[in-house]
């Protein structure tokens, strides 16, 4: 005898047997498990959002702060040089016209013997030593004179405008690049958000060196100190010339310190 497949009715069907299933309670009980699962999922999502959102915001703010790290921007501008008219060097004096008088030709006189006063006098060892010493003294005096002249050129008042201005190796572009690469923004100025333009003046000597570094327009002692430090590290310039002779010349560099 074959078994009949019998399926037991659900609990909800037994409870609501012979009752009004259209009232709504039957439907609610049938969907209870599904509604509980959906509510659990929604609650979990809300709790996770409430916990994770502040953490993500903190991480985003930290990464944004790192991305927008403060940087030093150094800009060099061309300052208007004072409109001084450079007087052309005076023309060289005309060479002296020496009057050359031609002496009358005197025929040589042939003699058979040499007079005693015409004999060649040989130099003694003492005389030779004295002459050598005199020559060394003259050379030393010439060297000292050259050193004194160079020292006077270095101590001379620098020019503001000359015929041929000093030139940094590679031009102003390389000068700007050098300053940008070697400038370090002071930490104290960073913390206090100090910015501004520092104008530095220095003298390019007759040998191309950097001397007499000073601040024409300062912003803050820390920024001024850093600007002076960077300018003092500049390599040698091509010196300026006036009348074809190297001379000391004033040179100005404006440096912008900007925080971003």
In the predicted model, is pLDDT for residue 111 greater than 90? no
Give me the chain's average pLDDT, please: 76
Domain contains 78: no
Shared domain for 187 and 149, answered yes or no, is no
Q: What share of the chain is helix, strand, coil (3-state, %, to 5)?
A: 45, 15, 45
In the predicted model, is pLDDT for residue 39 greater than 80? yes
Shared domain for 176 and 149, answered yes or no, is no
Kindly report the CATH number assigned to the domain that includes residue 186.
3.30.1150.10
Query: What does each C-alpha distance from 75 to 40, 141, 176, 183, 210 come to in angstroms?
Result: 61, 49, 7, 11, 20
Give the tens place of pLDDT for each residue, 50-71. 999 998 988 888 877 765 555 5
Which pLDDT score, from 0 to 100, does residue 120 have?
45
Domain contains 102: no
Between β-strands 196-204 and 210-217, what pairing exists: parallel, antiparallel or unpaired?
antiparallel
Q: Which residue has the tokens 């000292």?
A: 144
Q: How many domains does the chain have?
A: 3
Shared domain for 210 and 138, answered yes or no, is no
pLDDT category at 1 given cuts 50, 70, 90 is: very low
Of 201, 181, 156, 235, nearest in space to 72 by CA: 181
Query: What does each C-alpha distance from 86 to 80, 82, 161, 203 come to in angstroms?
Result: 16, 11, 7, 18
Distance (Å, rounded) from C-alpha 158 to C-alpha 206? 9
Find the helix or strand (DSSP H, E) in which 165 lies.
Answer: none
In the predicted model, is pLDDT for residue 84 greater than 80? no
Domain contains 1: no
- What is the average pLDDT across 99-106? 56
Radius of gyration over alpha carbons of the chain, in Å?
Answer: 49
Domain contains 220: yes
Q: List the structure tokens of 92.
A: 């060289």
Surface-to-core class of residue 84, CB atoms within 10 Å of its CB (0-12 exposed, 13-18 middle, 19+ buried): exposed
- What is the average pLDDT across 226-250? 93
Shared domain for 199 and 143, answered yes or no, is no
Which pLDDT score, from 0 to 100, does residue 119 have?
47
Shared domain for 23 and 55, answered yes or no, is yes
Which ranges constitute the DSSP H helices of the chain?
Answer: 11-15, 25-30, 32-67, 125-155, 172-182, 187-191, 221-232
Which pLDDT score, from 0 to 100, does residue 35 have?
84
Domain contains 211: yes
- What is the average pLDDT across 223-243? 93
What residue numbers bound the domain in which 246 lies?
172-257
Are 205 and 154 spatial neighbours (Cβ–Cβ below 8 Å)?
yes
Query: What does each C-alpha distance from 149 to 137, 154, 156, 163 come to in angstroms?
Result: 18, 9, 10, 22
């Amino acid at each position: 005898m074959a078994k009949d497949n019998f399926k037991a009715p659900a609990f909800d069907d037994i409870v609501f047997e012979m009752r009004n299933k259209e009232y709504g309670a039957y439907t609610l009980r049938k969907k209870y498990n599904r509604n509980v699962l959906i509510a659990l999922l929604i609650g979990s999502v809300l709790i996770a959002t409430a916990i994770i959102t502040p953490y993500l915001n903190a991480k985003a703010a930290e990464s944004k702060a790192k991305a927008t790290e403060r940087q030093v921007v150094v800009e060099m501008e061309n300052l208007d040089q004072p409109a001084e008219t450079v007087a052309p060097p005076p023309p060289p004096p005309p060479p002296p016209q020496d009057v050359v008088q031609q002496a009358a030709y005197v025929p040589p006189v042939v003699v058979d013997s040499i007079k005693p006063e015409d004999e060649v006098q040989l130099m003694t060892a003492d005389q030779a030593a004295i002459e050598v010493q005199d020559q060394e003294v003259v050379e030393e005096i010439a060297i000292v004179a050259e050193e004194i002249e160079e020292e006077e050129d270095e101590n001379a008042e620098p020019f503001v405008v000359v015929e041929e201005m000093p030139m940094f190796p590679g031009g102003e572009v390389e000068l700007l690049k050098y300053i940008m690469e070697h400038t370090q923004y002071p930490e104290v100025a960073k913390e206090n958000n100090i910015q501004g333009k520092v104008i530095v003046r220095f003298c390019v000597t007759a040998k191309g060196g950097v001397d007499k570094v000073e601040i024409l327009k300062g912003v803050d002692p820390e920024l001024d100190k850093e600007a002076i430090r960077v300018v003092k590290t500049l390599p040698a310039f091509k010196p300026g010339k006036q009348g074809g002779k190297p001379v000391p010349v004033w040179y100005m560099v404006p440096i912008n310190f900007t925080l971003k």
